[in-house]
Structure 1
Amino acid sequence: MKAQVSDYCYMAIDLDGPEFLRDQVAAILRARIESGEYPPRRRIPPEAEFIEEFGVSRPTVRAALAILEDEGRIVTRRGKGRFVAGAES
């Protein structure tokens, strides 16, 4: 059975698993975007919240966010933060 998007929204990070931590964090955040928890053109939580939530380092969170930015799912606005991409991003 294929996992639903919502199944990934609150998965725990597997610190000892074979998948890179950045990829696990990116997958969870991607699922939250796809589920609408983080709606288009809305600001996502700051890095510090993800660091605390997932128990990973700042470089890991930044790498995960860079993946999502490369995919076109989020955009960074200097001095404003990161936002879910949308029609007017």
Structure 2
Amino acid sequence: MEFGPDDQIDYEHPVTPYRQLGDILRARIERGDWSPNRPIPSEARLVQEYGLARTTVRRTIKLLVDEGVLFVVPQRGTYVAEPGAEGESPGKA
């Protein structure tokens, strides 16, 4: 992880903004800003907070969902996955 929980997006950095945001959100989860099975801020809030395009935020969320860090509940939002739940769907044992 190259970016910490309090970092901002560096547009001149060689790492793409969506990957920077992914590192930042992952670090915030690890720090305990958001607990498992609790929502992260909305796409609109992340767009506003980090000054990114909505498509960039969506790409970051998809990346973290694919990695098992987050999961999406339609009509409800994006939530933090349980640690060690990579590849599992929420609610399945």
- Pair in the same fold by TM > 0.5: yes
C-alpha displacement at 1:33, in angstroms?
1.0
Give the counterpart of 2:78 among 69, 79, 82: 82
Matches within 5 A, 1:1-89: 8-86=4-82, 89=90
Q: C-alpha distance in 2, partners of 1:45/1:59? A: 16
Bigger proportion of residues as helix:
1
Partner SS state of residue 71, structure 2: strand
Percent of residue pairs bearing the same amino acid type: 38
Superposed CA RMSD: 1.8
Q: Which runs of 4+ in 1 moved over 6 A?
A: none
- Shift of residue 12 of structure 1? 1.1
Q: Say which structure, 1 or 2, has more relative contact order (CA 8 Å, 6+ apart).
A: 1
- 1:47 and 1:27 map into 2 onto residues whose CA distance is 16
The offset of 1:61, in angstroms, is 0.4
Unaligned runs of 5+ in 1: none
SS at match of 1:83: strand
